[in-house]
Structure 1
């Protein structure tokens, strides 16, 4: 009896559990159905309301969905007009069937079977996102793309996607599939200012879209995904590769036969691109900034820029005429307030629109010594202080000078002017490599910086615009400079939409440091490695050459204009004979002679007046005066205040080399004072260099072995890093 009772209880319990599960399942179905019904009702009302609000088909045909942008130079002259080109409107019957099939195959294979949103494609994208990297791939149908192009912007917010779906349903409810496809093919953007298939066909193939071949249709259809990346005028190889993808999809979906799919898109005759010039490097850089500066607007606008047309021509000519064969060149020129006067991103914009002035990362070589000597001057050195140019080893790393010669005891001015690697290594080790890195960050270097010893010779990659900005800050007497290219933006009627406001400047280093480094930079051009940069008036600058002549630099300033020049190959192969003191310095000189011709001659202030704290033997000598400028506290943290003659043969080696990046790196110590301020190098140094010294006096000084400086305390968050 007891057993039967317990068995009944078990059965009863199991039945209760089953009943509870069914109850919750029933509730879930009921509530889920109710919510789905409410959602469908809400969606239906939204679609109905949107459909009633949609313009007529004739009105949609007449609308333009892009704006015209007129870009002007600093004198108001028009540089370039960018805007839509629509070609002829083609009715659905006039558009070749192969063009329709190509577009549907690559953009929306189930176009004729969905109602504006493709549920199968959406579900597949969600599944891939859940089982892959978590990102939902593009799932927009042709109807959704049309809704976005006509009515919405291109941001990826959930709200925009929901509105896009509602508008797609509304379009499908009001217009036929053929009408929607006709609108789409006449309005979609294909790059280069071309809107619609007829404009694209005329731009790329020089004939109307009614004459499109299968290969041409595949090329045009492939552009929608990324017009700039797959443009046949910018990258033929990428355009052909994308066209082959379109042809494969058309064959797989049965829209063309296997024989038609074997056409060769690379055999298509492309229209020759004309009318491009180097100023497009500048407009390509500056126009994307409008998205940040302006509210969303589709009306025609005029963008007034800082570019000087004459200087841009001079910069282009200087780069083209001086860049070695097979190499590329870049130039950035800044006014004293940071306004970009000229920008050249390569030798030929049509051949390659890659902007090396703002995008390329290259080693600066000895041009990086600017930051080493800035740190040394801030730590208490002066241009007249004595240092020793001798073989040195730091933590297993032994830098060497170009030519393998050493001058012995010289002053700081001569060491900088003749780009002595061993002296830079010693100074970097003495002040600390983290301090040098912090100085570079302080002056606007935005790329990662190594703190190994070889960093003092320019092993960390930088951008031309960042290095030019750093030298511009020296020209601005040690205050920060922010490069900019847009002065104002107005409507076509003159209404102001944006006006540039000068940013708050910050003192980066005190006056005596600026005067000292300017002294060193001027000596480099007067008697050192930068003599080819002379222009008949005061110039201060620095050369840079990397290992195996892969990169050549010259950066300098005169009369308030700062210019940076880089040359090298895109593949980073060696360029025979390329040195910063030759082709880049010559390009700098050719450009700057024109750039400063209408400006008064300005003498540099190179008188070093040390502050009282540095003349006193107390702790402030080591840490700086915190009220005046950035300084390093006791823990090593960076603290911000308030929170025409042609040059002759060079008597000395042109430039130092950058050791391989994988070598261990770390530099030495220098000391001494005295020196003759009346000349850049000591008599003893000049005797050795010119061969007038006795044989025994030309022997290399004994090597110096230094221990690496102990690491500084870790910087506090927000203070600035070194890597």
Structure 2
């Protein structure tokens, strides 16, 4: 009764009898196996066909030996001399039998421990990677085999797509079907990239250890094998400790693979490994690091070998390096940029030693220019109608709660503009800035090539806005070029190895952005600053125009100037912006400028500066004016050009310069907006006459 009741209870719950459930499960499992086998067979057939077809495209072994990866770029100086080869560096082809056996052992241990047993792809490795992914919850990461890496380097790219991975597997199996394991490993060892431009074990051995691959020792083999994973990170030239730490990992994998005993590993002393010294403190690299990335814009999508002709003068580059190193204060850094009158960079020094620091302070660092920024203050004042001989007063002044003081704390009273600039009088610069407008000064700085933000606080006249050395040098070069905008450049032409021209720089424009009298006036001031003012240490026995700059607490020292068509800017200071005792623009930077410029202009003719003020009509003196017209005969027009009667106070007084804008209630203007926009290639909204420019 109890048994029957139990059967009835089970039946009442509607549960299927156990034998029926097992039968259904077995049916689905059988179908799954059949479909899996069928799909696997189809996949195997498809893969076999793909491999067979791909095998027909695999070049011969000799053809693969001759092939090279990467683009070769031969860099030349302005006179055609070869600076260096950029791109892949290949050593001698080394047959695997001529390599110390520790080299292939180290490589297969760390990169592909089942190299001799798989078919190009490693199924066990894939299964293991899938298991780790499932158990850890992380995304699947399977390491490519040596054959897959070779296939990728020879035939594919580094994109991380499923299509590329499938193609990589097909090519790898095609290589395995075409060549022996020894041939594949030999190709790999002679073509894999080890960093620093070195392709192949021989190039790596020569670069990092200074000897051919046939002399590789066990610790060196471990270091070289460890580079493949991340060439830049583990490079001995970048981080010797990282390279040796990675080598220890390689040695341990060799022990795990039983190609090395624990005692042999323990006997390895990494501290005794001698790395080859880096090829000199070549400061040319500061220049090429700045110039060569521009190739992507000048000749985009080009992959063939090319020759790049640069503007660099090797003699000037050497002289610039010596000048900076010889004069920079202890514990400080220095930078120098020198350019020709068309903007061609002749020399560039980004620091005292490229090997210890490849940071280019000439193009990347932003520092306060101090009084060197007064170039823009006085340019704005000259545009507004000031002349070098005009009287100004050096006296205490407060502007919007800011009270500048002069170096030394003294005041000279009434002096002229020329003297105020030569002796870098801060109070006069502040008064001029307040009068012409701080926004106007910022606008001048922009026009002359300053690309960093410029503030319009009163203290901006003393250089409180950060600038780059190359930008400030460019501004002085524009003055040297008589107001024609200068665009710094480092590449003059690019040609293929068979002489085909891919790029050639076109001639720059000739339209000045300020009138001639403004350039004459500022050149007068700059020349005086060197002759009798703060820049006397920059004298070189021929006309020099320039300006010093020193920031508070002697954190930065500048000198920028030009002579015989060459403009040079020098900066010195500490990277951490701490004070440098005794550093002033008129000391070490000016001396470095003079040392370099004596060499730079030695073969150029002496050029006298044009400082004659050819003033416009509204600035003519009364004696010159009387031969042109009677001041009482001047008429006035409104904004639509209609003749109107002048209001009281507008009409020029006898003996006054006639027709000056300020007599009409208008600010003096050296150039209209349309003219400036056309000259600089910029489009800007039209500004109603009389309105002031706004700071950016």
TM-score of the aligned structures, taking structure 2 as reference length? 0.73
For residues 547-586 of structure 1, what are the structure 2 equivalents within 5 Å?
Answer: 547-586=552-591
Quote the residue 1:332 is aligned against: 337
Larger Rg: 2
Q: Secondary structure at the match of 2:154?
A: helix
Q: Secondary structure at the match of 1:493?
A: coil
Contact between 1:491 and 1:497, CA under 8 Å: does it hold in 2? yes
Change (3 A) 1:382 1:56: same
1:210-243, Cα deviation, whole Å (9 max, x unpaired): 544454344434544665665434x3xx232244
- Which residue among 302, 310, 316 is the counterpart of 1:311? 316
Point out the more displaced range, 163-172 or 295-304: 163-172
Q: Does 1:616 align with 2:616?
A: no
Q: Secondary structure at the match of 1:341?
A: strand
Contact between 2:439 and 2:692, CA under 8 Å: does it hold in 1? no
Quote the residue 1:239 is aligned against: 240
Change (3 A) 1:449 1:103: farther
Quote the residue 2:429 is aligned against: 424
CA-CA distance at 1:540 after TM superposition: 1.0
Q: Does 1:399 align with 2:374?
A: no
Point out the more displaced range, 433-442 or 577-586: 433-442
Q: Secondary structure at the match of 1:371?
A: helix
CA-CA distance at 1:81 after TM superposition: 4.2
For residues 105-120 of structure 1, what are the structure 2 equivalents within 5 Å?
Answer: none
Quote the residue 1:626 is aligned against: 673
CA-CA distance at 1:277 after TM superposition: 3.3
Distance 1:510 1:121 in 2: 76
Structure 1: tracts of 5 or more residues without a match: 1-33, 633-637, 644-711, 716-720
CA-CA distance at 1:369 after TM superposition: 2.0
- Which residue among 456, 459, 464 is the counterpart of 2:464? 459
Quote the residue 2:526 is aligned against: 521
Change (3 A) 1:611 1:120: farther
- Which residue among 364, 370, 374 is the counterpart of 1:369? 374
Q: Does 1:595 align with 2:603?
A: no
CA-CA distance at 1:286 after TM superposition: 2.7
For residues 710-721 of structure 1, what are the structure 2 equivalents within 5 Å?
Answer: none
Quote the residue 1:498 is aligned against: 503
Change (3 A) 1:230 1:455: farther
Q: Secondary structure at the match of 1:402?
A: coil
Change (3 A) 1:83 1:434: same
1:438-471, Cα deviation, whole Å (9 max, x unpaired): 3323222233444444333223333222221111
Change (3 A) 1:533 1:90: same
Quote the residue 1:486 is aligned against: 491
Change (3 A) 1:99 1:462: farther
Structure 2: tracts of 5 or more residues without a match: 1-37, 620-659, 686-690
Contact between 1:286 and 1:486, CA under 8 Å: does it hold in 2? yes
Q: Secondary structure at the match of 1:303?
A: strand
Q: Does 1:280 align with 2:285?
A: yes
Distance 1:448 1:110 in 2: 58
Change (3 A) 1:54 1:596: same
Quote the residue 1:346 is aligned against: 351
- Which residue among 197, 202, 209 is the counterpart of 2:213? 209
Contact between 1:613 and 1:625, CA under 8 Å: does it hold in 2? no
Distance 1:368 1:424 in 2: 10
Quote the residue 1:200 is aligned against: 204
Contact between 1:380 and 1:621, CA under 8 Å: does it hold in 2? no
Q: Does 1:270 align with 2:272?
A: no
Distance 1:281 1:540 in 2: 27
Quote the residue 2:57 is aligned against: 53
Q: Does 1:438 align with 2:439?
A: no
CA-CA distance at 1:332 after TM superposition: 1.5
1:368-394, Cα deviation, whole Å (9 max, x unpaired): 222232233334433334333333444
**When the two structures are aligned, how many residues end up with a matched partner?**
604
- Which residue among 184, 189, 193 is the counterpart of 1:185? 189
1:177-227, Cα deviation, whole Å (9 max, x unpaired): 664443232112334442211221122213333544454344434544665
Quote the residue 1:651 is aligned against: none
Pick 1 or 2: higher relative contact order, CA cutoff 8 A, min separation 6. Answer: 1
